[in-house]
Amino acid sequence: MTSPIKIDIWSDIACPWCYIGKRHLEGGLAALGDDAPEVEIEYHSFELAPDTPVDFEGSEVDFLAGHKGIPMEQARMMIDRVTGVAAQAGLDYDYDALQHTKTLKAHELLHFAKEQGRQLELSERLFRAYFTEGRHVGRTDELVELAAEVGLDADAAREALESGRYGAAVQADIAQAGAYGIRGVPFFVFEGKYGVSGAQPAEVFSQVLTQVAGERDGAAA
């Protein structure tokens, strides 16, 4: 019995391409059907905009223009483009409702969820809350509610966030990304040796998974 293929994903809850990349990876696995290998997925922290205030006043266009220096018209075009790509992946992004915020606490909660065996469920829940439901994923009360929705203990989740005890784990992930030379997310690492950057099409993930599985079968023969 071979162990699952390990997929490490560096990602940020506030990254629109990370949610799309998640769907494309899932699509790549689904496309392999009965030939799909078993996988073990682990999410790692990456803050795209660590200087973001928790309570940012304004829209995503305002953030891109004011904090990133991108012209307003170009920012609107970027958002329209990513919304269109997301729709093709079955995701209904709502940038009018989106509440831009700092994602540090969300990353801490993901580390707590990993210890409880609920990281994948929480990752999906946070993405959906942020991009399609207009929830504020920077505030502890909101994060605790979302944690409870995926079966995590609300009191334990609150304690984890208020104590800040997963802060070091978040920074360790970010440092590891730097060691790997990761400058943008999503970034997928298969079996600790193959890197895939960006929200590649589903067929790319199918090819990588098939290649890795084939190499493992060859090595075991």
CATH number of the domain at 75, please.
3.40.30.10
Name the residue with higher pLDDT: 220 or 104. Answer: 104
DSSP state of 69: -
Helices (H), the chain: 16-31, 60-66, 72-88, 104-115, 119-131, 140-149, 154-163, 167-180, 202-220
Question: What is residue 186's predicted lDDT score, i.e. its pLDDT?
Answer: 98
Residue 15: phi and psi, rounded to 5, are -100, 110
User: For position 221, what pLDDT does the model report?
Assistant: 55
Q: What is the pLDDT of residue 218?
A: 74
Give the C-alpha separation, 87 to 75, whole Å: 18
Number of domains, the chain: 1
| Cα–Cα distance, 114 to 112 (Å, whole number) | 5
User: pLDDT tens for residues 167-193?
Assistant: 999 999 999 999 999 999 999 999 999
pLDDT tens digit string along 111-148? 999 999 999 999 999 999 999 999 999 999 999 999 99
**Contact at 8 Å (CB) between 213 and 37?**
yes
* Residue 56 structural domain: 5-220
1 pLDDT band, cuts 50/70/90, is low
Report the alpha-carbon distance of residue 185 to residue 91 in Å, rounded.
Answer: 18
Q: What percent of the chain is modeled with pLDDT above 90?
A: 92
